[in-house]
């Protein structure tokens, strides 16, 4: 590789983005894919939960269960972008593809579908479903000359299941053990584990600075380590604005901000400065300071996790396509990509 | 035109002109003795567990005999309510104010245990043992998407039947599992029973008799394929499982249907909880529509964790302009910082009001309560009381 800047994860080909529900996994996965897609690189953004979150975020039609070009990545300083592709992996088509690929089960594959076996295999045996999903992922990462004409990806980013399910999801061979002790699916899951446990994979965790998500992140890291899955970074999302200096925050909490100074400043700035307005600003400051103090205590806990951390601001207007590029730029600046 | 009551006070301040959603009167709902079941639904992480616990506590302290069935309380909340021990039995919550004559019990659902109990109650001891030890049963009862929903309904049915007999409770508040879609709560039981009733399962049970020969030929291909993929032993386990389950299966379907009917009863009230986010409100909209299709009684929408509305009327743009002016003079200006915070807050509040307005326009009949986000997590009774008060529109108990 010839680039000057490769980011903190130069060896990683598979970026798995997990985290507590609603903390911003999908958003971060999308931003990370944009950030990685630079200088002509091809990046694949995958989702596995059947929610069409990628289509919604990028404002495109619902994705079919096959790869397609999504958008241009965030350009490098010299202006050259890469390409982000998207793949919505769903268990049923993964199983059919798997059957036709490895067992030449054209007719029987369809028969399986007709008899509800696909539904069966993908619902009752979650291990089987996970193997199918991760199998497709594995194929995209390990794709080589055997698969002619297919795009070779420089990186694959997975919008993964939440922290509570991630170990089960990636630790496929273990999960299968109870159901399929032998047979080809077992052998295959063992090969996949080799990739997932290698330094070419990183499992990143998204959190917000609140008690439950931080606790879950910490538990998640411990669980991942226990089964030798490589922990990547922690992305702290939805950070509140940092507009007040530490001593001002302390004053805001104790209610000792100098009102006269604020009133005088408002006058200078040509603003209305009646009592109610100053009261309002001070009350907001107090509330904000209280939340910031809680955030800071959680931030200490995150720092103690001993993994690289990245922070993303809470965007007051929500996340549209432009905002995804903004978040991508921020991740790149912080060295995540 | 519907009679739209607007609420005065902090949480009502930010609604968009033109759309004045009906205000949900939470106290009227929980005080009404004909309200027997409240179900809190919504997509994951929006505050269903918090809301159900807060409602239960408030109802109890206003005189109802309440049991709260929670699914996944945060550890500290479970500790505060004394329900960390997963024993599948409601326990009295300590430190509840009993002055109004009410009581509060709570329990945390143990999904697997509930499932096991159903099997044990339906099958002979040997049969039950055979099922409980089967690897497919273990997978089904601990991780099948939908089992948790099914078991929440099962438990609700049990508690309801029991309190109908002995009058222990006059209000059951139900939390729902952390599924990604609120609809799962309604769909999962059907999914589970139609799965158990599915073509494949029936096929595996069917003896290879005459007319079924064609089917059997098809089955041959399938079993062959499955054996090749999974290995032979899997299929054996599967057949045992299916055969064993068949004996208890009729019971399953019947029970699910009974609980479903209970949910349609007028003593039930659904509350849809949502965060002021596009995804959560979209889910809420789907859910509201589905409830009316299924003739299930919707009480209203709770928009939880809303950004607290600032008191003044300074606009975001005005504040930003002034902040920049001050920063030019003094880059560390405190007042500039305050103004930028205010602008940020205003933008969030405006965005949330827009999102709520959109919901109100398309669902004008849905009464809504807005609960501002507290500064910290809600993990004790004091926090639950505060959320309860906010749910009820911020009125104090004396003037309610
Ligand atoms: N930095 C941010 N600033 C503002 N809004 C954000 C930010 N990150 C995420 N959001 C918003 O928060 C909501 C949840 O984000 P997202 O869908 O990415 O979470 P998730 O972890 O994938 O959720 P789920 O567990 O439901 O899959 C979305 O509406 C998203 O737009
Ligand atoms: N109004 C609120 N203000 C502050 N925190 C809240 C509020 N409602 C919920 N929370 C917090 O949000 C988190 C998720 O809430 P929870 O009730 O567990 O959601 P759900 O059951 O829908 O998944 C918890 O940490 C809870 O304390
Ligand atoms: Mg997501
Ligand atoms: Mg919950």
**Residue A251 pLDDT more than 90?**
yes
pLDDT at B208: 46
User: Does pLDDT of A183 surpass 80?
Assistant: no
Q: Is the pLDDT of residue B395 over 50?
A: no
B270 inside domain: yes
In a domain, B126, yes or no: yes
Cβ distance B332 to A107 less than 8 Å, yes or no, reads: no
The reported pLDDT for the residue numbered B115 is 87
Q: Which of A116, A244, A265 sits opposite B198 (nearest CB)?
A: A116
Q: Of A121, A266, A291, which has the smallest distance from its Cβ to B335's Cβ? A: A266
Q: Are residues A177 and A264 in the same domain?
A: no
Number of neighbouring beta carbons within 10 Å of residue B329 = 11
Compare CB distances from B44 to A21, A117, A276 and report the shortest one's residue. A21
- Average confidence score pLDDT of chain A: 89
Q: Which ligand is nearest to the CA of B54?
A: 2
Q: Is residue B170 part of a domain?
A: yes
Closest ligand 2 atom number to CA of residue A213:
25
Q: Are residues A162 and A217 in the same domain?
A: yes
Average pLDDT, chain B: 83
Residue A136 lies in a domain: yes
Banded pLDDT at B281 (limits 50, 70, 90): very high
Asked if residue A250 and residue A233 are part of one domain, the reply reads no
A150: pLDDT strictly greater than 70:
yes
**B100 within some domain:** yes
Instruction: Assess whether A257 and A238 both reside in one domain.
Output: no
Residues A152 and A175 in one domain: yes
Say if residue A325's pLDDT is above 90. yes
pLDDT for the residue numbered B13 = 40
Average pLDDT of the segment spanning A258-280: 93
How many separate domains does chain B show?
A: 1
pLDDT 10s digits, A32-66 = 999 999 999 999 999 998 889 999 999 999 999 89
Residue B255 lies in a domain: yes
Query: For residue B109, how far is its CA from the centre of ligand 4 (angstroms)?
Result: 11
Contact A137, A191 (CB under 8 A): no
Which of A290-299, B22-31, B44-53, B233-242 has the least mean pLDDT?
Answer: B233-242
Q: Provide the chain B residues 93-132 that lie in CB contact (below 8 A) with chain A.
A: none
The reply to whether residue B200 touches residue A116, judged by beta carbons under 8 angstroms, is yes
Confidence of residue A216 (pLDDT cuts 50, 70, 90): very high
Atom of ligand 1 nearest to the CA of A312: 1
Shared domain for A82 and A105, answered yes or no, is yes
Report the residue from A105, A117, A182 with minimal CB separation from B200.
A117
Pairing between β-strand A14-19 and β-strand A201-207 as defined by DSSP bridges: parallel
Mean pLDDT over A133-152 rounds to: 83
**Mean pLDDT score, B69-93:** 89
∠ CA(B69), CA(B73), CA(B77), 5° rounding?
110
A76: CATH: 3.40.50.300
Which CATH number do you get for residue B348?
A: 3.40.50.300
Task: Give the residue, by CA position, lying nearest to ligand 1 atom 15.
Answer: A24
Residue to mutate, B378, B381, B382, B385, ligand 2, most ligand atoms under 8 Å from C-beta: B378
Q: Confidence class of residue B195 from pLDDT cuts 50, 70 and 90?
A: low
Residue B2 belongs to a domain: no
Per mean pLDDT, which of A101-105, B41-45, B294-298 is the most reliable? B294-298
More confidently predicted of A12 and A181: A12
Whether residues A173 and A262 fall in one domain: no
Residue A299 lies in a domain: no
Centre of ligand 4 to C-alpha A280, Å, is: 34
Between B206 and B110, residue with greater pLDDT: B110
Protein residues whose CB sits closer than 6 Å to any atom of ligand 2: A 212; B 42, 44-50, 74, 178, 304-305, 371, 373-374, 377-378, 387
Give dist(CA B278, CA B400) in Å, integer.
33
d(CA A251, CA A243): 14
Mark yes or no for CB contact B231/A268 under 8 Å.
Answer: no
**C-alpha closest to that of B42 among B253, B301, B353, B313:** B301
Q: Which residue has the higher pLDDT, B34 or A115?
A: B34
Residue B159 forms part of a structural domain: yes
| Closest protein CA for atom 23 of ligand 1 | A22
Residues in chain A: 337
CA distances from A304 to A9, A198, A300, A301 (A): 20, 24, 6, 5
Mean pLDDT on B320-341: 95
Query: Do A117 and A179 fall within a single domain?
Result: yes
Residue A9: inside a domain: no
Burial classification of residue A168, based on how many CB atoms lie within 10 Å of its CB (0-12 exposed, 13-18 middle, 19 or more buried) = middle
The count of domains in chain A is 2
Does the residue A1 lie in any domain? no
Q: Which domain holds residue B58?
A: 26-313+343-388
pLDDT, tens digit (0-9, with 9 covering 90-100), for B300-313: 999 999 999 888 78
Over residues A238-243, the mean pLDDT reads 94
| A172 and A255 co-located in one domain | no
How far does the centroid of ligand 2 lie from the alpha carbon of residue B67, in Å? 20
Average pLDDT on A177-185 reads 60
Average pLDDT, integer, range B24-50: 95
> Does residue A316 fall inside a structural domain?
yes
**pLDDT score recorded for residue B398:** 34
Same domain, A208 and A97: yes
Whole-model pTM?
A: 0.87
More confident residue, A151 or A105: A151
- Which range has the top average pLDDT, A56-65, A137-146, B107-116? A56-65
Mean pLDDT of all residues in A11-24 = 95
SS (H, E, C) chain A: CCCCCCCCCCCCCEEEEEECCCCCHHHHHHHHHHHHCECCCEEEEEECCCCCHHHHHHCCCCCCCCCEEEEECCCCCCCCECEEEEEECCHHHHHHHHHHHHHCCHHHHHHHHHCCHHHHHHHCCHHHHHHHHHHHHHHHHHCCCCCCCCCCCCEEEEECCCHHHHHHHHCHHHHHHCCCCCCHHHHHHHHHHHHHCCCCEEEEEEECCCHHHHHHHHHHHHHHHHCCCCEEEEEEEEECCCCCCHHHHHHHHHCCCCHHHHHHHHHHCCCCCCHHHHHHHHHHHHHHHHHHHHHHHHHHHHHCCCCCEEEEECCCCCCCHHHHHHHHHHHHHCCCC
Domain co-membership, A87 together with A227: yes
pLDDT, average across residues B187-215 = 60
Give the N- to C-terminal CA distance of chain A in Å, as an integer.
14
Name which of A83, A198, A98, A81 is nearest A152 in CA terms: A83
Question: Which of A70-74, A135-139, B47-51, B393-397 has the least mean pLDDT?
Answer: B393-397
Atom of ligand 2 nearest to the CA of B379: 27
pLDDT at A241 over 90: yes
Condensed to tens digits (0 to 9), the pLDDT of residues A80-94 reads 999 999 999 987 778
Contact A263, A170 (CB under 8 A): no
Q: pLDDT tens across A200-210, in order?
A: 999 999 999 99
Confidence of residue B2 (pLDDT cuts 50, 70, 90): very low
Same domain? For A229 and A189 the reply is yes
Domain of A70 in residue numbering reads as 14-242+306-334
CA B96 to ligand 4 center in whole angstroms: 22
Return residues 272-291 of B near A (CB < 8 Å).
275, 277-278
Would B328 be classed as within a structural domain? no
pLDDT top residue among B111 and A147: B111
pLDDT of amino acid A5 = 58
User: Biggest alpha carbon distance in chain A?
Assistant: 82
**Mean pLDDT value of segment B367-374:** 95
B14: pLDDT strictly greater than 50:
no
Q: How confident is the model at residue A255 (pLDDT cuts 50, 70, 90)?
A: very high
Which residues of chain B have a CB within 8 Å of the CB of A271? 314, 318, 322, 339
Which of A23-37, A174-188, A306-320, B357-371 has the least mean pLDDT? A174-188
- What confidence score (pLDDT) does residue B11 get? 40
């Amino acid at each position: 590789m010839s680039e000057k800047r490769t980011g903190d994860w130069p060896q990683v080909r598979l970026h798995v983005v997990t985290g507590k529900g609603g903390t911003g996994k999908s958003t971060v996965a999308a931003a990370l894919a944009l950030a990685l897609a630079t200088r002509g690189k091809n990046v694949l953004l995958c989702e596995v939960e059947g929610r069409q979150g990628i289509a919604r975020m990028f404002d495109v039609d619902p994705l079919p269960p096959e790869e397609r070009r999504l958008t241009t990545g965030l350009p490098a300083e010299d202006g050259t972008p890469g390409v982000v592709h998207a793949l919505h992996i769903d268990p049923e088509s993964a199983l059919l593809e798997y059957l036709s690929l490895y067992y030449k089960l054209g007719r029987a594959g369809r028969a399986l579908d007709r008899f509800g076996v696909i539904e069966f295999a993908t619902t009752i045996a979650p291990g089987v479903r996970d193997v199918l999903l991760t199998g497709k992922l594995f194929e995209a990462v390990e794709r080589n000359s055997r698969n002619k004409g297919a795009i070779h990806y420089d990186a694959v980013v997975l919008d993964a299941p939440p922290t509570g399910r991630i170990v089960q999801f990636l630790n496929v061979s273990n999960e299968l053990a109870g159901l399929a002790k032998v047979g080809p699916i077992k052998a295959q899951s063992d090969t996949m584990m080799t990739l997932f446990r290698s330094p070419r994979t990183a499992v990143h965790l998204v959190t917000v600075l609140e008690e439950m998500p931080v606790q879950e992140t910490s538990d998640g890291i411990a669980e991942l380590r226990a089964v030798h899955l490589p922990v990547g970074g922690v992305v702290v999302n939805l950070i509140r604005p940092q507009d007040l200096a530490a001593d001002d925050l302390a004053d805001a909490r104790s209610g000792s901000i100098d009102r006269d100074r604020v009133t005088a400043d408002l006058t200078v700035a040509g603003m209305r400065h009646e009592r109610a307005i100053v009261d309002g600003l001070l009350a907001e400051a107090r509330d904000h300071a209280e939340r910031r103090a809680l955030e800071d205590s959680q931030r200490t806990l995150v720092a103690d996790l001993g993994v690289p951390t990245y922070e993303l601001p809470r965007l007051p207007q929500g996340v549209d396509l432009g905002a995804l590029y903004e978040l991508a730029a921020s991740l790149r600046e912080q060295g995540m990509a | 035109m519907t009679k739209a009551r607007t609420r005065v006070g902090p949480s009502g301040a930010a609604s968009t002109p033109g759309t004045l959603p009906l205000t949900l009167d939470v106290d009227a709902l929980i005080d009404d003795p004909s309200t027997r079941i409240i179900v809190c639904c919504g997509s994951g992480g929006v505050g269903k567990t918090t809301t159900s616990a807060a409602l239960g506590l408030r109802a109890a302290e206003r005189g109802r005999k309440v049991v709260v069935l929670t699914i996944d309380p945060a550890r500290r909340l479970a500790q505060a309510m004394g329900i960390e021990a997963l024993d599948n039995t409601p326990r009295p919550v300590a430190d509840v104010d009993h002055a109004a004559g009410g009581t509060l019990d709570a329990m945390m659902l143990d999904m697997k245990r509930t499932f096991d109990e159903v099997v044990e109650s339906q099958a002979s001891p040997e049969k039950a043992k055979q099922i409980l030890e089967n690897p497919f049963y273990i997978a089904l009862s601990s991780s099948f998407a939908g089992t948790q929903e099914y078991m929440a309904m099962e438990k609700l049915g049990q508690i309801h039947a029991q309190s109908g007999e002995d009058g222990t409770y006059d209000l059951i508040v139900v939390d729902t599992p952390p599924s990604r879609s609120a609809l799962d709560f309604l769909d999962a039981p059907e999914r589970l029973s139609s799965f158990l009733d599915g073509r494949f399962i029936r096929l595996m049970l069917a003896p290879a008799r005459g007319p079924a020969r064609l089917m059997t030929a098809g089955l041959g291909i399938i079993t062959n394929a499955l054996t090749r993929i999974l290995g032979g032993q899997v299929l054996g386990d599967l057949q045992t499982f299916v055969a064993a389950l068949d004996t208890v299966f009729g019971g399953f379907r019947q029970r699910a249907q009974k609980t479903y009917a209970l949910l349609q009863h007028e003593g039930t009230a659904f509350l849809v909880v949502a965060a002021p986010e596009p995804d959560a409100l979209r889910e809420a909209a789907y859910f509201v529509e589905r409830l009316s299709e299924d003739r299930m009684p919707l009480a209203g929408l709770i928009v939880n964790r809303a950004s607290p509305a600032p008191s003044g009327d300074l606009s975001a743009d005005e504040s930003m302009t002034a902040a920049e002016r001050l920063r030019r003079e003094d880059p560390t200006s405190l007042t500039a910082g305050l103004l930028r915070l205010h602008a940020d807050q205003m933008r969030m509040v405006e965005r949330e009001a827009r999102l709520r307005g959109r919901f109100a326009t398309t669902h004008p009949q849905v009464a809504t309560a807005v609960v501002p986000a507290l500064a910290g997590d809600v993990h004790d009774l004091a926090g639950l009381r505060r959320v309860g008060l906010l749910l009820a529109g911020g009125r104090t108990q004396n003037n309610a």
